[in-house]
A and B are shown apart, each in its own frame.
Chain A
Amino acid sequence: MTNFFEATASETALKIKGGEVTTEEYISSLFERIKKVETKIHAFVETTEKAALSKAREIDKNLREGKATGHLCGVGIAVKDNICVEGIRATCSSHMLQDYVPPYNATVIERVVGEGAIVVGKTNMDEFAMGSSTEHSFFGPTRNPWDPERVPGGSSGGSAASVAAREVAIAYGSDTGGSVRCPASFCGVVGLKPTYGTVSRYGLIAYANSLEQIGSIARTVEDCALLLTVMAGHDFRDSTSAKVASKDYRECLKNDVRGLRIGVPKELFAVGTQEVVVKNVWSGIKRLEGLGAACEEISLKSLEYALAAYYVIAMSEASSNLARYDGLRYGYRVKSDKGDWNLVFSQNRRQGFGAEVRRRIMLGTYALSAGYYDKYYLKALQVRTLIKRELEKAFGKFNVLIGPSMPILPFRIGEKLKDPLEMYMCDVDTVPANLAGNPAMSIPCGFQNNLPIGLQIMAPPFREDLLIQTAFTFEQNTSHSKQTPKL
């Protein structure tokens, strides 16, 4: 069988619609690939071969009858395991939800399936999206396709790894503090976190509601833009979803950055950023300058407080969001449930959640408690407002802001597990976009010892077009995205 799995989503949909390949042939080749590399990568929590193939045959039948259409006709997609797909377990990589099967589809699933895509499986993640390495999974870590001894980033590590390893062309991730951009950077693929409100969160199992968005992960900017086109748009089921007209983001795929004004906040290159990251990101910026963009180094003081504010807000919201997992209606339940409900709830939660999740629930509970609310939660909200204002001001002058996606190269599995704070530090460059709600994107900008480095672009709210055009131009004029991990 030919290597259909190498093709992008955009190419695949055209080939299938053009009759060059059947959906069944293509989906079969994906599963063949998955079987080959999955033992090394462990990107998936569950694959759904049988259902996917039957769906593929249905699409082929419709194609023969001239009925099948859609931007993603026949294309396989990997879905992070915190996004609900009806009838398929949504575990959030947690013992707590190990056997939980949602009875409904997330809006993004309805949309992608409506465009002809086929869900091939659910991808591994840090438990409840809490982590930056996909090591905090009840099912064990996912490995980086570029070096299986290293982490793929997180928390959407399984999604990014599956795309990098050519198991799928596109994947859904979710980004609360960088969980799409971090693994995209570590796995050498493209990851886009849309503006808060652009994509419906209905069906996304919440970690921190006010910060997160579902994002697209792909190997090309074009696929990323295509997936965004499919998933974006107002949804009455999500009150925080913005009422903006939907558009085809592929129209922004223009190879042109002439006159683009780029701001480079020095706070994104703070202490702890590896030299090699600084070097590669700057050379990427220089490349854009060479293509006609104007860049200027700036300072955004409030970003220094972003990480602290982010963790207080995220943990506070999480402590409340995760309260529902008590084992009463669904989820993990201790075998011996003698005692009053208080005791049973406590036991279910102690045993059902992993250590990192418990840590964040406890810290968040503390931050919201009487006497500490003003000191932590309210303070964090104030910082959030400051960051928002400072970014707004910066975007008055610049079209985009650029910096590293991650301050460091992918690290070894286990390396940062002992020190949670060191792990949290990895998010320092990604959290500002979540706090302010701005769209941001990570694209490969270089390699060091065969390990990818990501460049992060931020744009004003609802200006994904600027992200896509900048990233597309960069991609078309560099060769980083063309590299393939050897598996």
Chain B
Amino acid sequence: MKATLETKIGLEVHCQLTNLRSKLFCGCSANYRGKEPNTHMCPVCLGLPGSLPVLNSKAIEDAIMIASALGADISSRTLFFRKNYFYPDMPKNFQISQYDQAGGVPIAAGGSVSMGNGKKVRIRRIQIEEDPAKLSYEGTIDSASATLVDYNRAGIALMEIVTEPDLESPNDARLFLQNLRSILEHLGVSDGSLEGSMRCDANISLGEGRRVEIKNISSFKEVERALNFEIARQKSLLDRGAEVKMETRHWDELRRVTVSLRVKEEEHDYRYFPEPDLVPIAVTPELIDKVKANMPELPEMREERFVEEYDLPHEVAQTLTGNKRLADFFEDCVKSYPDAKKIGNWLVSDFLRYLYEAGLDIDESRVTPDHLVKMLQLIDSGVISGKIAKQVLKEMMTTGRLPDSIVEEKGLRRISSRDYIESEVEKIFKELPQAVNDALSDEKAVNYLIGELMRRTSGKCDPTLANEIVSSKLSKLKSKQTAA
């Protein structure tokens, strides 16, 4: 068995342009989520006989923005092609898309996304296309007795971003998608938190094995899972000396396996040809300039700014801007709390870890910038220690309650009564004479006594007072010994 096989992964990312109010080729509202199935449709997006598509020109502006952000070359003239194949999710049994062969010109090509770790993933092409309807199965695709079709999604504007096979691991894929999402969200063109707004297909090959395409990866979270499964599947085939077939597989999210959809011989011949109902689009330098002039700040620019403006370490700034919502959260906090470094540290360490453990997105957590700022203020005013604050943060995450009420209810307030602490220290010195002796001869052993005090007060004891009282008691004992 070979130790490592070269893994090559390329992604086809489909992002809905969620900032558009209407669908790509008709006036239907693009805000279809949560609506009753088959209520957001018209003759055009249903492909009724005689209807004609009319391009939503805002989609071109979005595409220009995305292409600029990725450093891609924008075509001066672009056109739409028909991709012909039968499938029940397609109202016309063809998809209006773009093509890079047979005279086709996608809106943009080239460019790259930096991964933050020095790697760059090259972009092959960027194109505009319409989303098909949404299919639902009762159970899994294999076992369902019927397929349900919801046309509300049909005709929503999609950007297809195709990478070169530059990704080397499922983790790479996740990182790439995370960075891409941050870019798209900074541009304000696609909201990745909406269900199904960002999906992808993955192409993967191992060593000398054939390329396998995985379809139906419904969210970025699923990509790593699907790729890990597929690598394991292909490895076990190769280990047994079996062949990896060139095929298209379907990611079954429920069972977390890929299943074969079709092998190479059954691959579609899409019979691409120019869409005769739409005219070629001239993308003028004036339009590009206009869009570029209104480009919002991109993650990389924001990272630089965070370093300069808030004096954050590079890694902290990079982590924050790797997710637009996190960066926004940070800047919201900074508005009402002066120590940006402290906020940054809390966010990239404890806050992110809790989110990750709970499997939540930032906007799914119940903690707002107000929560965090109030918590930091409690630390500063000595009401709670940093250690207790971690407990408070966790509690805020699950209940959404404000930190002061958590502190009151759980009795987490710092103990700063000198009498109380002195009486506790008295007890410890009586009960642990050996530890006291150690502390007398070895400065370092003092911490054990303070630790014991903290344990007995559930960490709530004011650390300055604790130190002071323990030290003074020890020095009294020491002077007694010397006197004796």
Contact = CB atoms under 8 A, between A and B. Distances in A.
A386 B269 CA distance: 29
A125 interface: no
Nearest to A346: B86
Nearest to B102: A373
Contacts of B92: 323-324
Interface in B40-60: 43, 46-55
A377 B48 CA distance: 26
Interface in B69-118: 82, 84, 86, 88, 91-94, 102-103
B143 to A, nearest CB: 13
Nearest to B281: A239
Interface string A365-395: 1001110010001100000000000000000
Contacts of A240: 276-279
B147 interface: yes
A205 B50 contact: yes
Interface string A48-84: 0000000000000000000000000000000000111
A239 B50 contact: no
Interface stretch (A98-106, A272-280, A423-431, A460-468): A98-106
Interface in A129-154: none
A205 B273 CA distance: 19
Contacts of A365: 271
What is the predominant secondary structure among interface residues of chain B facing chain A?
Answer: loop
A323 B94 contact: yes
A237 B273 contact: no
A281 interface: no
Contact of A345 (B48, B49, B52, B86): B86
B285 to A, nearest CB: 23
Interface string B185-198: 00000000000000
Interface string B147-159: 1010000000000
A100 B46 CA distance: 14
Interface residues of B, number: 31
B272 to A, nearest CB: 8
A326 B276 contact: no
A90 B49 contact: yes
A274 B260 CA distance: 61
Contacts of B48: 102-104, 330
A200 B159 CA distance: 29
A324 B53 contact: no
A328 B89 CA distance: 10
A97 B49 CA distance: 10
Contact of B277 (A100, A203, A209, A329): A209
A204 B50 contact: yes
B54 A320 contact: no
A223 to B, nearest CB: 25
Contacts of B103: 378
A323 B93 contact: yes
A237 B279 contact: no
Contact of A324 (B93, B102, B272): B93
Given A237-B52, A341-B147, A103 B279 contact: no
Contacts of B86: 323, 326, 342, 345
Contacts of B84: 319-320, 323, 368
Contacts of B271: 319-320, 365, 368-370, 373
A140 to B, nearest CB: 22
Contacts of A345: 86
Contacts of A201: 52
B68 to A, nearest CB: 26
A106 B186 CA distance: 42
A369 B147 CA distance: 29
B146 to A, nearest CB: 10
User: Among the interface residues B43, B147, B276, which one has the most CB atoms of the partner chain A within 10 A?
Assistant: B276
B49 A100 contact: yes
Contacts of B272: 368
Nearest to A368: B271
Interface string A193-221: 00000000111111011100000000000
Contacts of A102: 43, 48-50
A457 B43 CA distance: 37
A316 interface: yes
Contacts of A317: 273, 276
Contacts of B277: 206, 209, 238-240
Nearest to B80: A239
A385 to B, nearest CB: 12
A378 B273 CA distance: 9
A210 B86 CA distance: 22
B94 A329 contact: no
A104 B43 contact: yes
A368 B147 contact: no
B53 A239 contact: yes
A474 B50 CA distance: 36
B91 A239 contact: no
Interface string A304-341: 00000000000011011001101011100000000001
Contact of B52 (A239, A341, A369): A239
**Most chain B CB inside 10 Å of its own CB: which residue of A97, A319, A329, A330:** A329
A81 to B, nearest CB: 11
Given A103-B43, A236-B54, A341-B88, A324 B273 contact: no
A240 B79 CA distance: 13
Contacts of A83: 50
Contact of B50 (A203, A319, A369): A203
B2 to A, nearest CB: 36
A16 to B, nearest CB: 30
B129 to A, nearest CB: 16
A371 B48 CA distance: 31
A237 B54 contact: yes
B102 A239 contact: no
A92 B48 CA distance: 13
A202 B50 contact: yes
A112 to B, nearest CB: 16
Nearest to B53: A239
B53 A329 contact: no
Interface in B267-287: 269, 271-273, 276-279
> Most chain-A CB neighbours within 10 Å: which of B46, B86, B149, B278?
B86
A204 B93 CA distance: 19
Nearest to B273: A368
A369 B272 CA distance: 9
Contact of B276 (A97, A203, A209, A237): A209
B478 to A, nearest CB: 89
A345 B49 CA distance: 17
A482 B93 CA distance: 49
A319 B43 CA distance: 20
Contact of B93 (A104, A106, A326, A370): A326
A329 B91 contact: yes
Contacts of A370: 269, 271
Given A239-B54, A320-B82, A329 B276 contact: no
Contacts of B82: 320
A202 B52 contact: yes
Contacts of A320: 82, 84, 94, 271, 273
Nearest to A345: B86
A158 B426 CA distance: 111
Given A320-B271, A369-B271, A84 B49 contact: yes
Given A240-B278, A320-B94, A368-B272, 9 more contacts: A83-B50, A84-B49, A102-B50, A203-B50, A239-B278, A240-B276, A317-B273, A324-B49, A324-B92
24 contacts: A92-B49, A103-B48, A202-B50, A202-B52, A203-B50, A205-B49, A205-B50, A208-B276, A209-B276, A209-B277, A236-B54, A238-B52, A238-B54, A239-B277, A240-B279, A319-B84, A320-B94, A320-B271, A324-B47, A324-B49, A329-B91, A365-B271, A369-B269, A370-B269
- List 5 A-B pairs, minimum CB-CB distance, nearest first: A323-B93, A368-B271, A209-B276, A210-B276, A205-B49
Interface of B: 43, 46-55, 82, 84, 86, 88, 91-94, 102-103, 147, 149, 269, 271-273, 276-279
